[in-house]
């Protein structure tokens, strides 16, 4: 018996902390979430990122047990959680709509999930003190939430979500109400604590910068579906769809037609000639396609400075502005394509003027067949 138990515990420890299979939610005729799969490893920080209405909250609420799925199953730490009540699930929650209880002290607020689990009083006292020290607010235990700043209240809510050492912590836009500087600070604080304590977090935001800053992996959502799930750098440099390329960062778009496909690269005919780029989905010669290039990948060169093999479009400089650390140049091509180029601001580099070649490598040029 002992061996069996040890083995199953070891398997639970090695397996995913959270697993979701084929989960969906339908309201009447429309889907809030189409059948989706998701897996989180121990200690991972995964963010659901997407526009408003894409199904992020619905997915999180189903994992929390607050919304009943139309199909699919959920496992938390290897145990089936589908059908369990929210309080039976081994999760912590930090939601905007799940604020601190104003009539309870900080200590009572943090103790709440432990009381629900029936932990003895002396152990509750120790656990609350320990987590208060972890969030660097060791002496606010007897205060009321109204006596704390917004940032401190946020940290107490964070403490409450982790105090019972749940398998997974679920956070839905917990920083949305904070001003920018406090939000940036809290992003770092949550990430540091998550890494120090090796907590598994599923986080929701519609802010791409927040998702890029905090996450091990991003689960990009669009129109009730998971669009792509990948590490931030992969999502940025190798988006699989036009939506993904447009949602994370900026992109210039050039319409064209595929002429040839070879070794994952596509040759594309457009209004000014030919381009070569990485084919990000499947497309065949003759298919319409969309070419996307990041502003920071575009260099403005004199025609005699072009390197062989580089993509280049003739252009004129329409405007040039210093935004701060970066400068932005708007370029017009004779065929009417507008391109935006971004460079680091540099005192010794003169502002570009007149006719230039807008140049970029084939690796920085992403080609999407029409169905993406």
For the bound state, the minimum distance from the C-beta of residue 69 to ligand ADP, rounded and expressed in Å, comes to 12
**Contact status, residue 217 vs residue 230, Cβ threshold 8 Å:** yes
Task: For the beta carbon of residue 164, count every other beta carbon within 10 angstroms.
Answer: 21
Residue closer to ligand ADP, measured from CB, 172 or 267: 172
Residue closer to ligand ADP, measured from CB, 54 or 109: 54
- Residue with smallest beta-carbon separation from Mg ion: 57
Task: For the beta carbon of residue 349, count every other beta carbon within 10 angstroms.
Answer: 10
What gap in Å lies between CA 363 and CA 340, rounded to an integer?
18
For the bound state, the minimum distance from the C-beta of residue 178 to ligand ADP, rounded and expressed in Å, comes to 18
Nearest to 326 by CA among 250, 233, 265, 259: 250
Q: Which partner, Mg ion, ligand ADP, none, binds residue 4 by CB below 5 to 8 Å per kind?
A: none
Q: Which partner, ligand ADP, Mg ion, none, binds residue 50 by CB below 5 to 8 Å per kind?
A: ligand ADP
Nearest to 213 by CA among 192, 240, 238, 239: 192
Residue closer to ligand ADP, measured from CB, 56 or 294: 56
Nearest to 42 by CA among 174, 231, 169: 169
**Contact status, residue 145 vs residue 100, Cβ threshold 8 Å:** yes
For the bound state, the minimum distance from the C-beta of residue 67 to ligand ADP, rounded and expressed in Å, comes to 8
Q: Which partner, ligand ADP, Mg ion, none, binds residue 151 by CB below 5 to 8 Å per kind?
A: none
Q: Which partner, Mg ion, ligand ADP, none, binds residue 55 by CB below 5 to 8 Å per kind?
A: ligand ADP
Q: Which partner, ligand ADP, Mg ion, none, binds residue 222 by CB below 5 to 8 Å per kind?
A: none
Q: Which partner, ligand ADP, Mg ion, none, binds residue 251 by CB below 5 to 8 Å per kind?
A: none
Q: How far is CA 94 from CA 153, 157, 171, 217, in A?
A: 12, 6, 5, 19
Binding site for Mg ion (CB under 5 A): 57
For the bound state, the minimum distance from the C-beta of residue 81 to ligand ADP, rounded and expressed in Å, comes to 19
Binding site for ligand ADP (CB under 6 A): 27, 32, 50, 52-58
What gap in Å lies between CA 59 and CA 71, rounded to an integer?
12
Residue closer to ligand ADP, measured from CB, 29 or 122: 29
Please name the residue that has the structure tokens 């998971």: 226
Residue closer to Mg ion, measured from CB, 176 or 321: 176
């Amino acid at each position: 018996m002992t061996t069996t138990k040890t083995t199953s515990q070891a398997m639970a420890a090695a397996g995913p902390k959270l697993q979701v299979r084929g989960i969906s939610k339908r309201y009447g005729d429309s889907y809030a979430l189409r059948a989706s799969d998701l897996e989180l490893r121990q200690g991972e920080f995964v963010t659901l990122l997407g526009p408003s209405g894409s199904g992020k909250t619905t997915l999180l609420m189903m994992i929390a047990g607050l919304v009943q799925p139309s199909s699919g199953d959920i496992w938390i730490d290897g145990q089936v959680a589908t059908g369990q009540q929210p309080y039976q699930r081994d999760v912590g929650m930090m939601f905007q709509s799940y604020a601190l209880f104003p009539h309870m002290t900080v200590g009572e607020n943090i103790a709440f999930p432990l009381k629900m689990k029936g932990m003895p009083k002396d152990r509750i006292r120790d656990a609350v003190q320990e987590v208060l020290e972890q969030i660097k607010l060791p002496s606010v235990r007897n205060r009321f939430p109204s006596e704390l700043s917004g940032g401190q209240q946020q940290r107490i809510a964070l403490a409450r979500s982790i105090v019972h050492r749940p398998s997974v912590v679920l956070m839905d836009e917990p920083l949305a109400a904070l001003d920018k500087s406090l939000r940036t600070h809290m992003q770092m604080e949550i990430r540091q604590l998550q890494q120090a304590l090796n907590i598994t977090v599923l986080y929701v935001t519609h802010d791409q910068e927040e998702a890029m800053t905090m996450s091990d992996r991003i689960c990009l959502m669009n129109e009730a579906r998971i669009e792509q799930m990948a590490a931030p750098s992969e999502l940025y440099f190798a988006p699989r769809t036009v939506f993904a390329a447009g949602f994370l960062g900026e992109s210039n778009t050039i319409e064209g037609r595929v002429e040839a496909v070879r070794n994952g690269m596509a040759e594309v005919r457009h209004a000014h000639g030919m381009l070569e780029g990485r084919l990000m989905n499947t497309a065949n010669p003759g298919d319409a396609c969309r070419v996307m290039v990041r502003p920071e990948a575009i260099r403005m060169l004199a025609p005699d400075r072009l390197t062989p093999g580089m993509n280049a479009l003739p252009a004129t400089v329409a405007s040039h502005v210093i935004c701060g650390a970066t400068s932005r140049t708007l370029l017009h091509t004779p065929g009417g394509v507008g391109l935006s180029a971004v460079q680091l601001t540099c005192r010794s580099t003169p502002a570009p003027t007149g006719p230039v070649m807008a140049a970029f490598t084939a690796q920085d040029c992403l080609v999407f067949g029409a169905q993406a």
